[in-house]
Amino acid sequence: MSAPVPRADSRTASELGTVRRAEGGPFELPNLLTYGRIAAVPMVAACLFGVTIFEAGLWLRWVALTIFIIAALTDWLDGWAARSYGEPSALGRMLDPIADKLLVGASLLMLAADETIRGWSLWAAFVILCREILVSGLREFLAELRVSVPVSRLAKYKTTLQLIAIGFLLAGPAGEVVLPGTTHIGLALLWTAALLTLYTGFDYFRAGLHHLVNGK
């Protein structure tokens, strides 16, 4: 009996190109944007550290705000790039939510350290950070069960409001010169984001409660 002849791939060149593009790679544009967002984290922290520890001047808060805005925009841009250039790699899909949480977590930590966030407002930052950790743990558990919990529209609004609040707080005392009450606006938005955080966090746990109880 003669050996079977390999069947020619019936897909066209354009279809093959689409498949290759959809697979993505570590240096695809969506992933590069995610890497940039991660790189922005120590830069924002360094700017606030310079203001607090080395008293380098409030101009560094504007630098921190600029870096933060660019990094936040990449969160939207990498979604657009993924739709345009194909899905990001597995590495990119893993790093994208990590980059978001690092940016928010590091900013809140540094803002608490320089006392832009202080007193009762620390509870708002505490709620936001705890929710991010708890939801990440829930998602990791459900991923092992091959269960996906989609991001709700309200959760997206919460994230946007959270980023805007941190932006106002990063401007902080420097922003008061341009817009009096900048810090108070940021704190009010942070509390609003914290309340939405509680609601959306409960929503996630309610969606995953069945799987948490039954383990499947």
Give residue-wise pLDDT tens across range 132-166: 888 888 777 777 767 666 677 888 899 999 999 99
Q: How far apart are the first and last CA of the chain?
A: 48
The model carries a pTM of 0.83
Higher pLDDT, 155 or 123: 123
**Residue 44, domain member (yes or no):** yes
Domain count, the chain: 1
**Residue 179, domain member (yes or no):** yes
**Residue 143, domain member (yes or no):** yes
**Residue 125, domain member (yes or no):** yes
**Residue 3, domain member (yes or no):** no
**CATH number of the domain residue 101 falls in:** 1.20.120.1760
**Residue 5, domain member (yes or no):** no
Question: Residue 200's domain spans which residues?
Answer: 24-214
Mean pLDDT of the chain: 82
**Residue 16, domain member (yes or no):** no
**Residue 43, domain member (yes or no):** yes
